[in-house]
Structure formats: structure tokens, C-alpha cells
Structure 1
Amino acid sequence: MLSYTGGIVLLAAMLHATWNAMLHGNRDRFLSMTWMSIAIAAVATLVIVASPLPARASWPYIVASGLVHGFYNASLVRSYRRNDLALAYPIARGSSPLLVTLGAALFAHEAIGPVHALGIAMISGGICAIALLGRRVSRSGALAALTTGATIALYTVIDGMGVRVSDGQSVAYTAWMFLFYWLTPVYFIALRGVAPLRASLRDEPMALGSSLMGGLVSIAAYGIVIWALQSGAMGTVSALRETSVVFAVLIGRVFLRETVSVTRWIACLIVAAGAVCLGI
């Protein structure tokens, strides 16, 4: 049976899948991500005003993570221009737990047991299978996905190490890190100007609303992950978080009436079995 922390991380995974589904129908992903980032950064600003400062030792990690998140967002926006990213992106989510486990072992000297290692491998393998079954991903698309996975792993390890020296201030740590999300609208305006933001306020209230709500759900989802990283093994937390891909399949089947093949259901069961292994 999963621990309390594991259950909360699975909730974060469901939230992560939810905001991705909310943004799925928006045509301009760059614009949507910009509004989402504005919502995240605005909430972070409010939390900072009401929260104590994290311990001094955590500040290098906050800055590093904030910058890596900015690079991740910019890289993701560029990658969305590739037609096969929707096929390749689950590879990023699947590869990141293995990379997090390796990074945690190298930099935080974490060790995990064989059952948990099996669980992480099953989750990573199952998620990659969900992406690849019946599909072909180009070399450039696969490279973009693996690069994204490495970026996800990098900020996860940074946050895992940083929150542990924040003197228990996971909320403040998260808020200060998310403050860097103000860089995304700055990046957007530098490339496309203010006019598209103004136009979306007037012409696309539904898309705007889903983007802002997605930002709120996103900050809750990753805030839970950072809280869990205080005491949980980084690879385990990362693997449970990436079960969001399975939740996305379920949401697509139930709410969006998407077709799911038998082999993809089997891959989902492998991911679920891996989650059970992490709960043993």
C-alpha cells in the first residue's frame, strides 16, 4: 500500500494530467503557456509576501532551479513547433525518473532498494511504451524529447537538494522558485509583442481562462512534488509524478472519447504495477 506521501504525489500526478488536458484544446500553445506562467508567477509573488524566507543555504538551488525552469519552458515552446512532439513528449516524462535516480545517486548520494528500482524501471518503460506503441518518432523529435527529459530531471534533482536545506520552508522555496516564471511573459513579449496578449483578453476568454486555471493547478501539482522531495527518494517521487501520463490517457478516454488500444492499456497496467512496487 502506498504511503501517505506517495498518495499525495499521485494526486499531484493527476493534477498535472488535468492541466495538460485543460490546455490540450488551445491552439496557440506559446500564448497559453505565457498566461499560465503569469498565473503561476502572480500566485508566487503573493505567497512570498506572506511567507518567511527560506534558509540561506537553499538560495543557490532556488536560482538554479528557476533558471532551469525558464530554459525548460523556452525549450518546450520551441519543441511544440515539431509535429511529432505530441508523440515524443511522453518519452521525456518516461526518461526523467531514470535520470533523476542517477542524478540523486551521484549528487545526493541516495540509494534505493531493488524493488523500488524495479518500480521506477517499470514506470519509465511503461510510459515510453505508451508514447511509442503504433507510432514512429523522428530522430529530431526523440532528441528533443530526451533533452526535455534531461531538463526535467535536472530541475527535479536541484529542487530535491534545495528544499532539504530550506529549513522546512517548502512553500516559500516553491514560491521563490516560481517567481522566475515572470521570465516567460518577458520572453513572449520580446518575440511577439504585447498585442497577442491584449487580443486574447478580448477575443479568447475561454482559452485564457483555461490557461490561467492551468497555471493554478500546475503550481499546486509541482508544489506537492517539492514538498514530497523533502523526505522522499527523488527517483521514487519523480516516477510517481510521471504517472500523470497514465492519468492523461484515462482522461482522454473518459472525457475526450479518445480511442485507447489494448496494448496501450497493458502499458498503463505496467506503470500501475510499478507504482505498487514503489509502495512496498
Structure 2
Amino acid sequence: MSLIVFLSVLGAALLHASWNALVRVGASRVGTMMVLSGVQGLIGLVIAMTMDWPGAAVWPWLVASGVVHSAYKIFLTFAYEHGDLSRVYPLARGTAPMITLMVGAIWLGEAVSMNETAGIVVLGVGILALARGVWTSGESRRMLPFAFGAACATAGYTVVDGLGARVAEDAALFVAWLFVLDGIIFAAAMLALRGRGSLPTGWRVWTAGSLGAAASYGSYAVAVWAMTLAPIALVAALRETSILFGVLIGWLMFGERMTPGKALSVALIAAGVVLTRI
């Protein structure tokens, strides 16, 4: 992985943590996510209209991607209704690198060095350690099935999008259309699950959702582009350093406590990133 790709993925991780923070602190998690998905879809449609139409071989990957992305957002939204950013986010993101690594190595035959593998493992341990408070601090465990569902969806769309972008041979085209489909599928799913109560109301929801959409779109466009140039498992692992940024956002902006356990987890995450670069 080149230095430019490496730094780009780290920047994408910061954007990812930022939009999750916007969703978590919003008055209506569902409403904010509805705006986010809708604005993402509009951005994608505008970009897609300036490009060639995707080939027939690309559409199965796009549909699969739209479904899995929508599942991820549904799980994440419901998890945030029961837990804090510093707990839900690590659980939702923490197991994804492990799943992606196994898929990439076993089924996709991608070459990942021993140092990169060690970095992915250390990174995952640090993220999971950061989330241990859900069992030790008496926090609601209702978040767990939703957070783990989001983790599985993360691994799923990472693999699908990495391969789909390679089939499309154009990361920007693939990302544009996947967000168009994701916006449609997510809105339909939330209306079916929550009815009219899922519709966004209030300027704060619209503002947070719109800002989150811009950050999310930019973050994922960079990530998918990076997956066309570097091993999918490695890009996915580096992207999980968004946990580090999430902890810092929680500490500096939301006044969350920086406990010794959190500090150790952050150190493990940093060590994992270093190992992937040796």
C-alpha cells in the first residue's frame, strides 16, 4: 500500500467517525439517518448522471451493495437508540476486519503479509477491548444484536464493494450508483419498519443528516477507491482506525471519560496501524 493510499484511508476514517457522531447526538437517530441516506442518494445521482451507464455485469454487485449498506444503516440506527457512541461504534466496527481478513485470505486469495495480518489482529483486539464496558458497566445489552448485525454487514459490504468496484473498473461510478440504490432501499425499509414516525422533522435533523451525508459519501468513496489499489482486508482494517477518532471526538467534544482502559485500547489500535506499515 502506497503512502498516498494509506493517508487517504486514514482521512476517510476521520470522516466516518464524524458522521457517526452526528447520527448519535441527533434528536432523532432514525430521522437523521433518513436524511443522510437521501442526501447521499442525491449526491450519487448527480455524479452518476455525468458518467457512463454501468455495464450489465456491474448491476448485480450494485444491488447487493445497496441491500447490505441499507442493512448496516438499519442495524446501526437501532443500536444507537440503546447505546453510546463509544460503545456501539467499537462493537459495530470491531469484528469486521477479522471477518474481512478471513474472507479475503480464504475465498478471494488475496496476499496479505505477516506484518499486515498481525496489524489487523492487534487492531481488532484494541477495538473490541474498547467496547468491553457494555459487559462491565451495566449498560444496556439491547444494543448487542444490532451492533453485531452492523459488524457483519460492514464485512459484507466491504467485500462486495471491493469486488464490485473492480468489476466496474471505476470506483467513482460504482459508489455513485450504490448510494442511489442504498437511499431508495433504506427509505423503503424504514417506512415499512417505523411508518410515518421515520420521516425527518426539524432543521437540526436535516442539518445533521446533510452534513453526515457529505462526510459519509466522501469517506466511502475514498475507501472504495483504495480497495481497487490495495488488498481489501488491509484497507478495511486501516479504515477501522475511525474508532480512534471516535474516542477522541467523544472525549474532546462530548466530555466522555478517557479511562485507562480506553487509553490502552487506543494504544492497541495505534499499534495495529503501525504494524500494517512495517
TM-score (norm 1): 0.89
Which residue does the alignment assign to 2:100? 100
Q: Distance in 1 between matches of 2:109 and 2:65?
A: 19
Q: Distance in 2 between matches of 1:139 and 1:194?
A: 24
Q: Structure 1 CA distance, aligned partners of 2:218 and 2:21?
A: 16
Partner residue of 1:192 out of 191, 195, 198: 195
**Greater displacement, 122-131 / 178-187:** 178-187
Q: Which residue of 1 aligns with 2:277?
A: 279
In the other structure, the counterpart of 1:232 is 230
The equivalent of 2:184 in structure 1 is 182
Shift of 1:103: 1.2
Distance 1:262 1:51 in 2: 50
Give the structure 1 partner of residue 121 of structure 2.
121
- Displacement of 1:211 in angstroms is 1.1
CA offsets per residue over residues 7-64 of structure 1, 9 Å max, x none? Answer: 1000000001111222332121111100111110110111111112344433221111
Change (3 A) 1:213 1:268: same
In the alignment, the residues of structure 2 paired with residue 162 and residue 267 of structure 1 have an alpha-carbon distance, to the nearest angstrom, of: 33
Determine the structure 2 residue equivalent to 1:147: 149
Distance in 2 (CA, whole Å) between partners of 1:18 and 1:78 is 18
Amino acid at match of 2:167: V
Change (3 A) 1:176 1:23: same
1:173 corresponds to? 174
AA aligned to 1:271 is I
Question: 1:55-134 counterparts in 2 under 5 A?
Answer: 55-83=55-83, 87-133=87-133, 134=136
Show structure 1 runs of 5+ residues with no match: none
Aligned pairs, number: 274
Look up the equivalent residue of 2:67 and give its one-letter code.
L
Return closer, same or farther for 1:71/1:209 CA change in 2, 3 Å cut-off.
same
Amino acid in structure 2 at the alignment position of 1:77: T
Q: 1:182-221 maps to which residues of 2 (within 5 A)?
A: 182-190=184-192, 191-193=194-196, 196-197=199-200, 200=201, 204-221=202-219
Q: CA separation in 2, counterparts of 1:257 and 1:76? A: 22
Alignment of 1:21-40 (within 5 A): 21-40=21-40
- 1:183 offset after TM fit, Å? 2.2
List runs of 5+ in structure 2 lacking aligned partners: none
Instruction: Give me the TM-score of the superposition, normalised by structure 2.
Output: 0.90
Secondary structure in 2 matching 1:52: coil
Root-mean-square deviation (Å): 2.3
Q: Is the 8 A contact 1:90 1:131 kept in 2?
A: yes
Q: Percent identity?
A: 30
Judged with a 3 Å threshold, the aligned counterparts in structure 2 of structure 1 residues 93 and 194 are, in CA distance, closer, same or farther, namely: closer
Deviates more, 1:30-39 or 1:255-264: 255-264
